[in-house]
């Protein structure tokens, strides 16, 4: 009997504790206290955007060195990677036939000079005889024509000698520009000609280096909208000096300028080629190297929002906008394609002074009232100024 009374007492206490626990929980749920969320107020900022594009480097001049005469390589005066001056000898080609042509042309000149002298004497001898009427004028005209023909033969022989000397000069291949020697595929003893598949070498003038990169149609349109100018070329000139990131990740010391843009869009790639020029006084940049172009864009009075404060819905960006009554609205915002680190640049949907929920909004719904925990802007927007 006692045991039964004890069980009834314990059951009663359990019901009391359960009721008290349930009553407390219901009271808290029904109190309607808003939940706290981190919120930031948007203010205009001055910052920079940077866009990067892969680039290929080329020297100001890349000149293929090809032989103008046929022959065997007799000497190579330079090595790969050497710096050469304009007119410096690079290769010697063994082609003895051209030396023989010079000797033959020289002999032909001497023979032609002798014939001219003989024809001149004949003309001088005939002239007084005609004046005295001893012989007819026909003989004088004939002598004059013979002299003219001999002089023409002499001129032709001199031209042949000049041509032979030019060909002989081609047996020593010189550099047409100052620059850096590329690879040398042919070695001493190799037979080369003007129709050889590969050049003897390539000389790259790298006092200035061109960095070639491409922009697609959308990026070109962005430049057309963001910069002033009557033409695309004029807008391109308004772009600030660009930086060059080398293959090892270091930033090249000198800044460059974008100078040209292709007049047509490549139908296969949908892009247009641009060229930036960099000084290369120290010779650090080489033709054929890869690099990255960095284009800065200065922004005044820009609104930025953290990427973590947005939600993607069907390819569009949304944020929770906090009203003056502390209720939230899921609002669409437009942003630039280019980001600033972990931040978006707002182009529409928000204005200065708006407050947005920074994070933790997965369970929020439109019209819900929250308790804003306003964060200092400096703690949310870090590293935006340069």
Return the SS3 of 15: helix
- Cβ neighbours of residue 189 under 8 Å, at least 6 residues apart? 72, 73
How many domains does the chain contain in total? 4
Question: What's the CATH code of the domain at 339?
Answer: 2.40.420.20
Positive/negative CA dihedral, 346, 347, 353, 354: negative
Same domain as 225, residue 282? yes
Question: What's the CATH code of the domain at 100?
Answer: 1.10.287.470
Residue 239 and residue 258 in contact, taking contact as beta carbons nearer than 8 Å: yes
From residue 224, alpha-carbon distances to 229, 233, 239 in Å are: 8, 10, 11
For residues 41 and 201, what is the distance between their CA atoms, to the nearest angstrom?
Answer: 63
pLDDT of residue 20: 37
Comparing CA positions, the residue from 370, 380, 329, 369 lying closest to residue 40 is 380
Same domain as 161, residue 225? no
Same domain as 84, residue 107? no
Query: What angle separates helix 96-131 from helix 137-169, to the nearest 10 degrees?
Result: 160
Same domain as 290, residue 224? yes
Q: Where in the sequence is the domain holding 134, given as residue range(s)?
A: 96-170
Same domain as 209, residue 140? no
- Cβ neighbours of residue 159 under 8 Å, at least 6 residues apart? none
HSE value, Cβ hemisphere, 13 Å, CA-based, for 23? 6
For residues 287 and 211, what is the distance between their CA atoms, to the nearest angstrom?
Answer: 9
Length of the chain, in residues: 386
Same domain as 308, residue 281? no
Question: Consecutive 10-residue runs of the chain (386 residues): their mean pLDDT?
Answer: 41 37 40 86 89 90 90 94 92 90 92 90 82 77 87 92 90 91 93 92 89 86 78 81 93 91 74 90 86 89 92 92 94 90 92 93 90 91 68
Same domain as 137, residue 74? no
Q: Is 179 a member of any domain?
A: yes
Same domain as 284, residue 229? yes
Question: What's the CATH code of the domain at 76?
Answer: 2.40.50.100
Cβ-based neighbour number of residue 73 at 10 Å: 20
Report the DSSP pairing between strands 35-41 and 370-374.
parallel
Same domain as 286, residue 331? no
């Amino acid at each position: 009997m006692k045991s039964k009374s004890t069980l009834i007492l314990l059951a009663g206490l359990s019901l009391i504790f359960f009721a008290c626990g349930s009553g407390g929980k219901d009271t808290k749920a029904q109190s309607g206290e808003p939940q706290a969320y981190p919120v930031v107020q948007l203010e205009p900022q001055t910052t920079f955007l940077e866009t990067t594009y892969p680039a290929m480097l080329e020297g100001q001049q890349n000149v293929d060195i090809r032989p103008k005469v046929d022959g065997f390589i007799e000497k190579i005066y330079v090595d790969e990677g050497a710096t050469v001056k304009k007119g410096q000898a690079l290769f010697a080609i063994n082609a003895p036939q051209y030396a023989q042509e010079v000797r033959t042309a020289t002999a032909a000149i001497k023979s032609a000079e002798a014939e001219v002298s003989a024809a001149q004497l004949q003309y001088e001898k005939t002239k007084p005889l005609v004046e005295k009427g001893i012989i007819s004028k026909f003989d004088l005209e004939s002598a004059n024509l013979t002299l003219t023909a001999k002089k023409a033969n002499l001129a032709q022989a001199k031209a042949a000698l000049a041509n032979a000397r030019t060909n002989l000069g081609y047996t020593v291949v010189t550099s047409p520009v100052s620059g850096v020697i590329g690879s040398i595929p042919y070695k001493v003893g190799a037979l080369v000609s003007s129709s050889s598949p590969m050049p003897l070498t390539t000389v790259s003038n790298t006092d200035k280096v061109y960095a070639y990169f491409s922009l697609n149609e959308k990026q070109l349109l962005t430049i057309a909208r963001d910069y002033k100018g009557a033409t695309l070329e004029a807008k391109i000139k308004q772009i600030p000096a660009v930086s060059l990131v080398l293959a090892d990740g270091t930033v090249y010391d000198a800044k460059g300028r974008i100078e040209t843009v292709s007049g047509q869009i490549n139908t296969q790639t949908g892009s247009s080629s641009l060229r930036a020029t960099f000084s290369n006084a120290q010779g650090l940049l080489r033709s054929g190297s890869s690099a990255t172009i960095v284009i800065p864009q200065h922004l005044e009075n820009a609104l930025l929002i953290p990427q973590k404060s947005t939600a993607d819905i069907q390819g569009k960006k949304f944020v929770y906008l906090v009203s003056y009554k502390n209720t939230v609205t899921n609002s669409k915002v437009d942003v630039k394609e280019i980001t600033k680190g972990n931040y978006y640049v707002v182009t529409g949907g928000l204005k200065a002074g708006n407050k947005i929920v920074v994070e933790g909004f997965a369970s929020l719904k439109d019209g819900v009232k929250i308790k804003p925990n306003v964060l200092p802007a400096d703690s949310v927007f870090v590293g935006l100024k340069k």
